[in-house]
Amino acid sequence: MAHTHSHTPSSQDGNAKRLMLAFGVTATFMIIEVIGGLISGSLALLADAGHMLTDAAALLFALLAVVFARRPPSHGRTFGWLRLTTLAAFVNAIALVLITILIVWEAFQRFRYPQPVAGVTMMVVAVAGLIANILAFWILHRGSEEKNLNVRAAALHVLGDLLGSVGAIVAALVILWTGWTPIDPILSIVVSCLVLRSAWRLLQESVNELLEGAPASLDIPALKRNLTRSIPEVRDVHHIHVWMVGEKPLMTLHVQVIPPHDHDALLGRIQHFLEHHYAIAHSTIQMEYTPCNGPDCHLNDIQSGHPHHHH
């Protein structure tokens, strides 16, 4: 069965170049921010460096995804390496949560025992970080017409990071003008909340994919109803499995049909329906002429009562 890939090699190369550039910019400035944070004693800078680490990781995964998506499937790995990026995203999300916990813990320590912060150093590094983020976002955003989840995720990361850098600049200004240092841990907690939010979303999406979950947008009972309504020969749809491999939905299903004159034409119509209405390009369909009576027939009917037989 034909399997169409929407990515042309040239767009993949473009993505890889953009990701590589953005990764270089982000990783460099992350190191600068860590050093700046340690020198100036600013926790907001360290929190923002943590944020930048999430960016650098997201960019690296996106880059690996593009590279691994090119590796052809083999007999041992019939889907190729597409799932590797999901695994990487999962590990990234857990790392983000840990970094956030550390920074929030340190912030609470700072409230109890305020530390001196070198406002000027902090300001210089924060402004440099902001410029780096704008640059990285611009590099990535030129490629966002590609519906590539990894490039999109990376661009969102960098956008969240812009807010982190702005937070660090605000904290530096407050410290320079008023000398009030608690603003530093306060803003580091705000930045950590941003990190946590992106980490949580990443965790949900990657866990769903690793647990072979159906795409969140897919309503299976509705799919069954629409298929039986749209194609009169289809009596019943059961045994539906939908899962994701590297952003591509795959599906297997059984359909009970009225014996057709042209078996292949009916099969083609069902496949076209799935591709056209649900963007499922890779479907495996088992056609049956008698009602299903095995133990798995009612697999998908937990949510929707009993199968509807159309007479």
Spatial separation of the C-alpha atoms in residues 182 and 184, rounded to whole Å: 5
Q: Which fold has domain 9-210?
A: Alpha-lytic protease prodomain-like (1.20.1510)
In angstroms, the Cα distances linking 226 to 8, 33, 119, 232, 233 are 32, 54, 62, 11, 13
* Tokens read off for 92: 């990234």
For a pLDDT cut of 90, what percent of the chain falls above it?
15
Look at residue 272 and tell me whether its pLDDT is greater than 90: yes
Strands 282-288 and 248-257: parallel
Question: Which residues 6+ apart lie within 8 Å of 261 measured at CB?
Answer: none
What's the whole-number mean pLDDT along residues 217-229?
Answer: 90
The predicted structure's pLDDT at residue 5: 41
Helix axes 119-141, 43-70, angle to 10 degrees: 20
The predicted structure's pLDDT at residue 145: 53
In angstroms, the Cα distances linking 76 to 81, 153, 167, 243 are 11, 30, 49, 19
More confident residue, 126 or 79: 126
The predicted structure's pLDDT at residue 217: 84
What's the whole-number mean pLDDT along residues 201-215?
Answer: 87
Element of type H or E holding 70: helix 43-70
* Tokens read off for 136: 């990285």
Q: Do domains 9-210 and 220-288 have the same CATH topology?
A: no
The predicted structure's pLDDT at residue 225: 92
The predicted structure's pLDDT at residue 1: 36
Do 41 and 117 touch, CB atoms closer than 8 A?
A: yes
| 124 CB-contact burial (10 Å; exposed 0-12 / middle 13-18 / buried 19+) | middle
Rounded to two decimals, the pTM is 0.70
> What superfamily would CATH give domain 220-288?
Cation efflux protein, cytoplasmic domain (3.30.70.1350)
**Domains in the chain: boundaries:** 9-210, 220-288
Look at residue 154 and tell me whether its pLDDT is greater than 50: yes
Average pLDDT over all residues of the chain: 81
Residues 97-125: pLDDT tens digits? 888 888 889 889 888 888 788 888 888 88
Do 278 and 218 touch, CB atoms closer than 8 A?
A: yes
What's the whole-number mean pLDDT along residues 255-266?
Answer: 90
